[in-house]
Structure 1
Amino acid sequence: IQFMGSGTDFTAFYQHLGIISANLGFTVGSAMYGTYHSTMDSLPYMEGVGDPHYATHTTTAKWWGLITLRLVNDAIVPFDFSTYGLVMQEDLAEYEQITVAMSRNVNYSLLRDAISEFSSNAELFQARVAAFADKSAKKKEDRSHENEIERHFWNEKLVRLERFLTSDDGLPHRPWFKHLIFGPGFYEGYKGTAFPGISDSIVFEDDTATMQQHVDDVAAVISTAAAYLIAF
């Protein structure tokens, strides 16, 4: 499992609109897909070398089918944000070391506090979602108006949360990209990174004040998302 970068169809949905997305595919060890976008990327190549019998193609289609069935049939959409905080903490620690090495005196305390708040609220939120899912499973025939309203409430929360991690202003150096937590690195292309705006600030060697402003903006977005998780 990796961060989603850019250069493919989900970019507009995820990085610009904040709509939850996924990108599934196969890799063969550390081998490079050397025929990509070349004249050799053909049906004979795929059938003889790239994917004989279309084994990975059909397996990928089955995975997408299973995911679709889960999304359609589960009473609560199977999204879980409890690991977001851990990922943010790990990547922030790396950025802190880099900015210190650059002699940028950036204060990350607000961002660390926001991540901690998000982590705590996400755990509480997911526990409440799980409790409702368990209750619904035990009362499968309960189609009461109250139960359907609560089901809709939790699903809306799960579906819309990602949009609270975006900013109308976008990344400082790439305003079209609105997602402040996950996105493509400036020079990585297809490869994704956490806190792409902070990554960009390092790449462009922004001064301390510019870096600090964006770090505080990210903290505010995460705090808003954390509050959204437990708002009723």
Structure 2
Amino acid sequence: MTRHLADSLIIPFDVTNYSAVLQELVSEFLGRFNGSLSTQHMRGELLREAADNFTKTATSFSESIQQANLTNPYVVRRINDQLMQLDRAFLDSAGLPGRRLKRHILLAESIVDNYAGSSFPGLSDALVQIQKGHNVTEQWEIVRQHYSVILFTIQSAASTLKDVTDFMVDYY
């Protein structure tokens, strides 16, 4: 695996698979918690729209790689830099609510069940705490804040895949 990674011109990271996982996480999350969000007049559809936007951008990025001039070292560098920045875009420097050392917005273990993973762990854990009746007012404030962080993060991750330098170099 290391040799394959070292010998690859383009980092072997399929962004369309990443978008498919994001879509699955959104579906799982909304299937479990959309009713809870709607009781507080929060639109779960915003999460679906952000994921759909990310999927469109990832698909466009994958298609642009297929058409890119890979003999140009600047083009290769740009593509690899974008791929490296993608997963970093899903890290929140402030950490998850109540867990500053856990920084990935999409994936982390649940505080309710250490053996189970959780989609959107900061949000899921706060909503589970609400369902259990623990600090409901405080937990809703965490949900509101973290929901906006998640939406911003997904949009930021999508922007890392957009071509912002097309005015500098001819890629095709």
Settle same-fold status: TM greater than 0.5.
yes
Give the conservation status (yes or no) of the 8 Å contact 2:96–2:105: yes
1:5 matched residue in structure 2? none
Q: Which runs of 5+ in 1 are unaligned?
A: 1-66, 137-141
2:45 matched residue in structure 1? 109
**Count of residue pairs brought into register by the alignment:** 155
1:160 aligns with 2:85: yes
Cα drift, residue 227 of structure 1? 1.3
2:168 matched residue in structure 1? none
1:204 matched residue in structure 2? 129
RMSD: 2.3
Output the amino acid matched with 1:111.
Answer: L
Distance 1:180 1:213, change over 3 A: same
1:184 aligns with 2:109: yes
- Please give the alpha-carbon distance, in whole angstroms, between the structure 2 residues aligned to 1:101 and 1:223: 23
Q: Which runs of 5+ in 2 are unaligned?
A: 131-135, 165-172
Q: Deviations over 1:2-51 (max 9, x none)?
A: xxxxxxxxxxxxxxxxxxxxxxxxxxxxxxxxxxxxxxxxxxxxxxxxxx
1:98 aligns with 2:32: yes
- Please give the alpha-carbon distance, in whole angstroms, between the structure 2 residues aligned to 1:102 and 1:193: 17
2:61 matched residue in structure 1? 125
Q: Deviations over 1:107-127 (max 9, x none)?
A: 223322211111100011111
Task: Indicate the SS of the match to 2:15.
Answer: coil
The structure with the largest alpha-carbon Rg is 1
1:16 matched residue in structure 2? none
Cα drift, residue 220 of structure 1? 0.5
1:213 aligns with 2:149: no
Output the amino acid matched with 1:92.
Answer: V
Task: Indicate the SS of the match to 1:92.
Answer: helix
Q: Deviations over 1:71-105 (max 9, x none)?
A: 01111010012133333333323333433268843
Give the conservation status (yes or no) of the 8 Å contact 2:97–2:146: yes
2:133 matched residue in structure 1? none
Task: Give the structure-2-normalised TM-score.
Answer: 0.78
Give the conservation status (yes or no) of the 8 Å contact 2:126–2:140: no
Matches within 5 A, 1:28-107: 67-99=1-33, 100=35, 104-105=39-40, 106-107=42-43
Distance 1:218 1:102, change over 3 A: closer
- Please give the alpha-carbon distance, in whole angstroms, between the structure 1 residues aligned to 2:26 and 2:149: 14
- Please give the alpha-carbon distance, in whole angstroms, between the structure 2 residues aligned to 1:130 and 1:85: 18
Could you say which structure has the greater relative contact order, defined with CA pairs below 8 angstroms and 6 or more residues apart?
A: 1
1:228 aligns with 2:164: no
1:195 aligns with 2:131: no
Output the amino acid matched with 2:126.
Answer: S
- Judge which range, 180-189 or 87-96, deviates more: 87-96
Distance 1:102 1:131, change over 3 A: closer
Percent sequence identity is 28
Task: Indicate the SS of the match to 2:94.
Answer: coil
- Please give the alpha-carbon distance, in whole angstroms, between the structure 2 residues aligned to 1:228 and 1:122: 10
Give the conservation status (yes or no) of the 8 Å contact 2:85–2:160: no
Output the amino acid matched with 1:90.
Answer: E
